[in-house]
């Protein structure tokens, strides 16, 4: 949002021997189409904060972090997605842009005494700073967002410890819970259509605030178990004072407008004439094989069956290799010594050589037209849709957090009840709730009282929001994923690099933060600033490896 002031001086124009002189304008004029930031309605910026945050989350969870957590793999342009060959290319600049806009919303809310906007801004501040510290570790926090004030300390801010950032987030969420505790009619200023998450409903924002607190208490549970236990029990023990998300109607999930590439589902085919981005993303074998093993009804919602299924038939004459409709028939000699899969759903193995030619594909082009592996469901070609949402927090996630807390012996209810409610919430979200009774009784899904099972179902339910599964994996080691043969290291990474610009421009503070990372046997080749160096939250835990 920019305001432009213009001073006009006389312009002398000579044309056809005639002299025209304009009026001397010495009075300051304001752009009639502009808005003065000093008195603007915070809703004008809040909508940008929410939509950009939603896009930031889905761009992680549907793109490269989905590769890390082996929901998907790419068979073209795959090095970052499959192999974690990031080279320090990630940047937090976009996240801090969101936070600067959010700070404006908060400051205007203070100026106008709008407690509703204050509460929402604190929730979004917590969510975005939580994402930054989850991804990088130590980061600018208390000294951040002050660049406009000038001075070296503001231009090159110091880094707060990851522990301090989590502590600050939890304090802000406590404050937000109070600010958002009134009835909607008690707030003199409304949010309305600017709120693409909850249409300005303070009760839902309050549930989100407390649900985020549960997320971050569990995040620090290995490092500060007493703090996590007390915080989670406080919230769960007083539902009136600390309401949380327990129904999918209260999920924080942002739909897409679908009017342009900028406001559409990422990697859609509507605004990508060649469909190249959609076609390069395939289901991962790790994910598909597990969903098949437990007869998961969500598989068909997320993936297509292979276009052409392999059929290896011993009765066929030697040398047979023919396509008939949606089947490709092969005699055993044609597949001898080769890796192949005859299922209706086939995932791409993790970080393999020649992914585009996997499973006897007749094409190895980068455009990724392999007919023998499962492409994503056709809904992901679209720019928008009822299931195409950025999922920032869900009832399923909360139920799995509480199941884990109960498994620890904390006073939050019954682990089995929460686990089963989490499974049901996810099935309902994806439109297959009618399969719940059969599914929950099946092998591998029926509650067995293990953390492994709880986190596995949480991993499955994090489809298109894989970053949360990544942070759980770093904390628990589940699911027990294995890096592929082409991966940059033998194990999965646990953080992002501090980017080159930050290391150059804010050198002293960045080097101080890097010195606090725990180097591991897998990070030695990169130095301390490595995706395989452990931030505070993983140090001393022996997790995930």
Q: What does the H/E/C string look like for 72-123? A: EEECCCCHHHHHCCCCCCCCCHHHHHHHHHHHHHHHHHHHCCCHHHHHHHHH
Q: Is residue 5 part of a domain?
A: no
DSSP label at 160?
B
Task: DSSP letter for 375, please.
Answer: B
380 assigned to some structural domain: no
Q: Are strands 321-324 and 389-393 parallel, antiparallel or unpaired?
A: unpaired
Is 505 a member of any domain?
A: yes
Of 275, 348, 340, the C-alpha closest to 309 is 340
Residue 538 lies in a domain: yes
Return the closest-CA partner of residue 502 out of 80, 79, 132: 132
Q: For residue 381, tell me if it sits in a domain.
A: no
Within 8 A by CB and 6+ apart from 337, the residues are none
* Residue 509, in any domain of the structure: yes
Domain enclosing residue 516, as ranges: 489-545
Per-residue pLDDT of the chain (545 residues; tens, 9 = 90+): 333 333 333 333 323 333 334 444 444 455 555 567 877 789 999 999 999 999 999 999 999 999 999 999 999 889 999 999 998 789 999 999 999 999 999 999 999 999 999 999 999 999 999 999 999 999 999 999 987 777 777 889 999 999 999 999 999 999 999 999 999 999 998 998 999 999 999 999 999 999 999 999 999 999 999 999 999 999 999 999 999 999 999 999 999 999 999 999 999 999 998 889 999 999 999 999 999 999 999 999 999 999 999 999 999 999 999 999 999 999 999 999 999 999 999 999 999 998 889 999 987 655 578 999 999 999 999 999 999 999 999 999 999 999 999 999 999 999 999 999 999 999 999 999 999 999 999 999 999 999 999 999 999 999 999 999 999 999 999 999 999 999 999 999 999 999 999 999 999 999 999 999 999 999 999 999 999 999 999 999 999 99
Question: Side-chain half-sphere of 61: how many Cα atoms within 13 Å?
Answer: 26
Helix (H) or strand (E) holding 262: none
Secondary structure of 34-56 in HEC code, one letter for each residue: CCCCCCCCCHHHHHHHHHHHHHH
pLDDT at 26: 45
What 3-state DSSP class applies to 361? coil
- Determine the pLDDT at residue 150: 77
Contacts of 126 (CB under 8 A, 6+ apart): 169, 172, 173, 176, 209, 212, 216
- Answer for the pair 358, 352: CB distance below 8 angstroms, yes or no: yes
Q: List the helix and strand counts (H, then E) for the chain.
A: 20, 11
Q: Please write down the long-range contacts of 327-335, taking CB distance under 8 Å and 24 or more positions apart.
A: 328/360, 328/372, 330/360, 335/360
Residue 371 resides in a domain = no
Q: Secondary structure of the chain: what % helix, strand, coil (to 5)?
A: 45, 10, 45
The count of structural domains within the chain is 1
């Amino acid at each position: 949002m920019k305001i432009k002031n213009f001073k006009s001086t006389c312009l002398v124009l000579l044309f056809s021997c005639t002299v025209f002189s304009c009026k001397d304008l010495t009075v300051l004029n304001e752009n009639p189409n502009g808005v003065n930031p000093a008195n603007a309605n915070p809703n004008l910026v809040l909508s940008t904060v929410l939509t950009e945050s939603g896009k930031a989350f889905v761009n992680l969870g549907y793109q490269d972090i989905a590769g890390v957590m082996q929901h998907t793999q790419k068979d073209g342009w795959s090095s970052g997605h499959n192999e974690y060959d990031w080279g320090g290319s990630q940047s937090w600049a976009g996240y801090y842009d969101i936070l600067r806009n959010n700070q404006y919303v908060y400051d205007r809310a203070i100026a106008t005494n709008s407690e509703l906007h204050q509460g929402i801004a604190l929730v979004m501040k917590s969510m975005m700073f939580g994402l930054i510290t989850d991804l990088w570790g130590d980061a600018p926090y208390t000294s951040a967002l002050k660049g406009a004030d000038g001075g070296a300390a503001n231009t090159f801010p110091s880094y707060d410890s990851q522990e301090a950032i989590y502590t600050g987030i939890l304090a802000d969420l406590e404050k937000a819970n109070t600010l958002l505790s009134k009835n909607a009619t008690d707030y003199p200023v409304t949010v309305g259509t600017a709120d693409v998450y909850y249409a300005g409903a303070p009760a839902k924002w309050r549930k989100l605030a407390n649900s985020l607190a549960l997320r971050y208490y569990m995040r620090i549970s290995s490092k500060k178990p007493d703090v996590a236990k007390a915080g989670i029990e406080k919230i769960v023990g007083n539902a009136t004072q600390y309401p949380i998300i327990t129904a999918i109607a209260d999920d924080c999930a942002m739909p897409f407008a679908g009017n342009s590439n900028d406001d559409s589902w990422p990697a859609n085919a509507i605004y990508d004439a060649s469909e190249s981005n959609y076609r390069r993303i395939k289901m991962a074998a790790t994910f598909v094989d597990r969903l098949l093993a437990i007869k998961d009804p969500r598989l068909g919602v997320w993936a297509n069956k292979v276009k052409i299924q392999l059929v290896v038939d011993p009765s066929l004459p030697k040398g047979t290799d023919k396509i008939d409709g949606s089947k490709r028939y092969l005699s055993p000699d044609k597949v001898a010594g080769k890796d192949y899969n005859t299922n209706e759903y086939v995932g791409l193995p993790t970080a393999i050589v020649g992914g585009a030619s996997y499973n006897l594909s007749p094409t190895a082009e980068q455009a990724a037209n392999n007919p023998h592996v499962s492409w994503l469901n056709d809904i992901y070609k679209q720019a928008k849709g009822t299931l195409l949402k950025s999922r920032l927090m869900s009832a399923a996630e909360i139920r799995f957090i509480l199941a884990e807390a109960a498994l620890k012996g904390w006073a939050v209810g019954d682990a089995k009840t929460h686990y089963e409610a989490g499974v049901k919430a996810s099935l309902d979200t994806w439109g297959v709730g009618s399969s719940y009774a059969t599914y929950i009784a099946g092998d591998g899904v029926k509650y067995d009282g293990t953390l492994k099972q709880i986190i596995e179902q949480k991993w499955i339910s994090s489809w298109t929001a894989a970053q949360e599964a990544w942070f759980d994996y770093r904390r628990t080691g589940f699911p027990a994923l294995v890096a592929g043969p082409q991966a940059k290291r033998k194990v999965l990474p646990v953080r992002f690099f501090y980017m080159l610009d930050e290391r150059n421009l804010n050198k002293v503070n960045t080097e101080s933060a890097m010195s606090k990372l725990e180097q591991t046997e897998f990070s030695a080749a990169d130095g301390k600033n490595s995706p395989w160096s452990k931030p505070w939250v993983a140090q001393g835990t022996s997790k995930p490896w």
